[in-house]
Structure 1
Amino acid sequence: MAGNLSNPAFTFNLKIGKFDIHPTAIYPVFLAGALIYLFSVICNGTILGLIVTQRSLHKPMFYILFGLPLTDLMGITVCLPRVLLDILTETNDVYYPTCVLQGFLLHFYGGSIPFLLAAMSVDRYIAICDPLRYNSIMTPCKVCGIITLVWGLDFTLILVLFSLQSRMVKCKSFITNVYCDNPSLLLLSCGGDMTVNNIYGLFITAFIQISSISIQLFSYTQILITCIKQTHADSRVKALNTCIGQIAAFLLFEIVTTIAIMSYRIPNISSNAQRICGLMIYTVLPTVNPIIYGMKTKDVRIAFVLLLKKHKVSPGKNTPAIKNRK
C-alpha cells in the first residue's frame, strides 16, 4: 500500500471495466444474474445446512466437503453481486482498497478448490483402500489438521502474491476486467520490474495445479486398482460411486479455468466474450458444484430426502392417532 501513497498522481477512486450491453437488455441480464446467484446461494446453503444438522453426515469426508460449498458461496458473493450492480446502475466506479479485498478473496477462492478436492481424494483413498484403519487414521485431530493445512497454505500463497503486488508504485486508475484480480491490479503500476511478480504468479499456479492433480491422480488410480480387485460387483460400484461427485467437480473446475485462461490467448475475441469466460469461474462452479456433489454423493442425497420426508410426514403422523383415540 505504501507504493500507492508514494505517487501523488494515484487516486484511490478507480474505474472498472464493464459489459457492453444494449439498454433494453440491462434488466433481463440483471434478472438472469440475480436468479443464478439466488439459486447458488440456496443450493450451497442447503448442502451446508445438511452437513451441520444431519448426524449421518458427521463424518470426516463431509467435514472436508463442507469447505467446497463454503468457498463457492464466498466466490460468487464476492464477484457476482458487484458486477450485477454495475450493470444495473451503469456505473463503473470502485474504491482501491475494496478492489484489493475482492481480488484477494477471488484468488483465495480459486486456490482453495483444487486443494479441497485433493484433500477429499485422500479421504476416499483411505476409506476404500484401507477401510479397516480408516477411523484410526482419519481422527478428528487429523481431519482438523488437513482442513487447517488446506486453508492455511492457500491463504499464505495468496497473501504473498498480493504483498508483492502492493509494493508496485501505482499511477493508473482503470481496472481492465469487470472484477478485480491480481493481473488487473498489476496493470495499475507505472511500469517497474515485475519479474518477481510474474515468476511467483506462475509458481503458485503451477504448484497448486501440479500438487492437486498429482494427489488426485494417485488417489483415484489406487482406488481404481482396488475396485478392479474387488470380487463383488456391488462393492466395486459402491466404491466408485463415492468418488464420482468429486471427480466431476474436479473436471468441471479444470474445464472452466482452461476456458477462462484460453480466452485471453484467442486473438480478435470480443471484450464481452473474454469477460464472460473469466466470470464463469465465479458463477458456473458455485452453481453447478452443489448439484454435482449433492446428486452424486449418496449420503447427502439420502439425508436431503429424509429431511423432506420428515417435514412432510411429521404433521400427518398425529392425525390418524387422534382419530383412533376418538
Structure 2
Amino acid sequence: MDNVSSNITYILNIEGLNIPPIAFYPVFIIAIISYCLIIFCNIVILLIIAIEKRLHEPMYLLLINLPVNDLIGGTVILPQLIHEILWDSRSISYPVCVTQAFFIHMYAGGTVLILTAMAYDRYVAICLPLRYNTIMTNTNVLKITILVWFIDLVLMAVLFYLLLRFPRCRSLISNTYCDNPSLLRLVCADTSLNNIYGLFITALLQISSVVPIAFTYLQILLTCLRNKRSDAKKKAIQTCATHLAVFIILEITGLFSILAYRFENASPFIRRMFGASTLIFPPAVNPIIYGLKTKEIKSKLKQFLGCKVSPL
C-alpha cells in the first residue's frame, strides 16, 4: 500500500487538451510551427543585438531580457504539449511538474517586470533626454536587469516553498500544464496562506506594472504632443507603441484565459486552448513585433536574413 500511495503521488495525470479527432493534425501542426517560430525568432533577435555593436545601448540591453524570457515560456510548455498530442501521454512525474510550474510562473512574472523596466527606459529617453546618458548607464542597466530577475526569483521561490511543504493525496492535474493552482488542488490540507500569497503577488505584479506603465506612457504622450519636431515625435511614438503593444497582448491573453475558465458551460477544449495560448501567443508574437516595428532591428534583420521584411 505504501508503494501504491507513493506511486499515485509521484506520477501525476494531466487532463490535457482532449483534442477531438478532427482537430488532431491541425493542432499538432500549429504546435510544431509555434514552437519553431518562438525558437527561431527569439534567437535571431538575441543574435542581432549581441553581434551588432551599434545596438549595445540601454534600450536593447534591456530588450535582450524579453526574448530570453520568451524562450523560457515557450520551451517550458510547448514540448510537453507536443509530446502529449503525439503520443497521447498524460502522465508526468511530480518533480517535472513542479519544475514546469515554477518556470511558467517565472516567465509570467518576468514578462511583467521586464516590460516595466523597458517602459522606464523609454520614459527617461523621451521625457529626460539630457539626463538619459547619466541615468541609463550600462552599469545601471545591469543593476535593473539583476533586480528584475532577483525580484521574480524571490517571489516565485517563496510561492513554491509554501506549496512544497504540503503532502499530496491526489494525482490529477486539472489543466493542460502544471501551475501553482493546479498543484495546490493535489493537497489535502489548509492552503489559505498559499491562496493569500498567490493573490498578493498577482496584485503586486499587476499594480507595479500597470500603474508605472500607464504613468510613463501618459508622460511620454504629453511630451510628444509638445514636441514640435515631427520626426522626433514620430520615432518616439513608434518606439513606445511597440512596447505598449507587447504589454497589451500580454494583458489580453491573460484576461481571455481567466474569462475562459469562468464559463463552465464553455467547451473544455476551447477553455484549455485559451489557457495554453496565454503562454504560447506572446513569445511567438513579441519578436515579430520588435523585428518589424523597431527600425534598427528591422534593418539588421534584413541583413541577417538576406531578404526584405515588409512592414506591418
Q: TM-score range by the shorter chain?
A: over 0.9
Contact 1:112/1:150, CA 8 A, preserved across alignment: yes
Which residue of the partner structure matches residue 94 of structure 2? 96
Deviations 1:229-286 (A, max 9, x none): 1112222112111211100000100000000011111131121111111101111111
Using the alignment, how far apart are the partners of 1:16 and 1:307 within structure 2? 41
Contact 1:10/1:170, CA 8 A, preserved across alignment: no
Structure 1 residues 259 and 201, CA gap change in structure 2 (3 angstroms): same
Give the counterpart of 2:18 among 20, 23, 30. Answer: 20
Which residue of the partner structure matches residue 319 of structure 1? none
Which stretch has the larger CA shift, 94-103 or 296-305?
296-305
Q: Runs ≥4 in structure 1, deviation > 4 angstroms?
A: 7-10
Give the counterpart of 1:291 among 288, 301, 304. Answer: 288
Instruction: Indicate whether 1:176 and 2:179 are aligned.
Output: no
Using the alignment, how far apart are the partners of 2:196 and 2:226 within structure 1? 44
Contact 1:26/1:88, CA 8 A, preserved across alignment: no
* Equivalence map 1:69-148=2 (5 Å): 69-148=67-146
Question: Given residue 207 of structure 1, which amino acid in structure 2 is its aligned partner?
Answer: L
Deviations 1:158-177 (A, max 9, x none): 11111111112211111111
Deviations 1:291-324 (A, max 9, x none): 1121111111122124445x99xxxxxxxxxxxx
Using the alignment, how far apart are the partners of 2:38 and 2:63 within structure 1? 16
Instruction: Indicate whether 1:193 and 2:190 are aligned.
Output: yes
Count the aligned residue pairs: 305
Deviations 1:9-65 (A, max 9, x none): 853111111222234543442222101111121111111111111112111111111
Computing the radius of gyration from Cα coordinates, the structure with the larger value is 1
Structure 1 residues 85 and 139, CA gap change in structure 2 (3 angstroms): same
Using the alignment, how far apart are the partners of 1:249 and 1:187 within structure 2? 32
Which residue of the partner structure matches residue 235 of structure 2? 238
Consecutive unaligned residues in structure 1, runs of 5 or more: 313-326
Using the alignment, how far apart are the partners of 2:144 and 2:276 within structure 1? 30
Identity of aligned residues (%): 44
Question: Given residue 219 of structure 2, which amino acid in structure 1 is its aligned partner?
Answer: Q
Question: Given residue 9 of structure 2, which amino acid in structure 1 is its aligned partner?
Answer: T
Q: Secondary structure at the match of 1:15?
A: strand
Give the Å deviation of 1:8: 5.7
Deviations 1:115-174 (A, max 9, x none): 100000100111111112211111111101100111110111011111111112211111
Using the alignment, how far apart are the partners of 2:77 and 2:6 within structure 1? 30
Contact 1:47/1:294, CA 8 A, preserved across alignment: yes
Instruction: Indicate whether 1:220 and 2:242 are aligned.
Output: no
Using the alignment, how far apart are the partners of 1:23 and 1:280 within structure 2? 20
Q: Secondary structure at the match of 1:44?
A: helix
Which stretch has the larger CA shift, 125-134 or 201-210?
125-134
Give the counterpart of 2:161 among 149, 158, 163. Answer: 163
Give the Å deviation of 1:183: 0.5
Q: Secondary structure at the match of 2:9?
A: coil
Consecutive unaligned residues in structure 2, runs of 5 or more: none
TM-score by length of 1: 0.89
Using the alignment, how far apart are the partners of 1:136 and 1:305 within structure 2? 32
RMSD over aligned CA atoms reads 1.8
Using the alignment, how far apart are the partners of 1:247 and 1:262 within structure 2? 22
Using the alignment, how far apart are the partners of 1:158 and 1:202 within structure 2? 13
Q: Secondary structure at the match of 1:11?
A: helix
Contact 1:34/1:84, CA 8 A, preserved across alignment: yes
Question: Given residue 75 of structure 2, which amino acid in structure 1 is its aligned partner?
Answer: T
Structure 1 residues 33 and 10, CA gap change in structure 2 (3 angstroms): closer
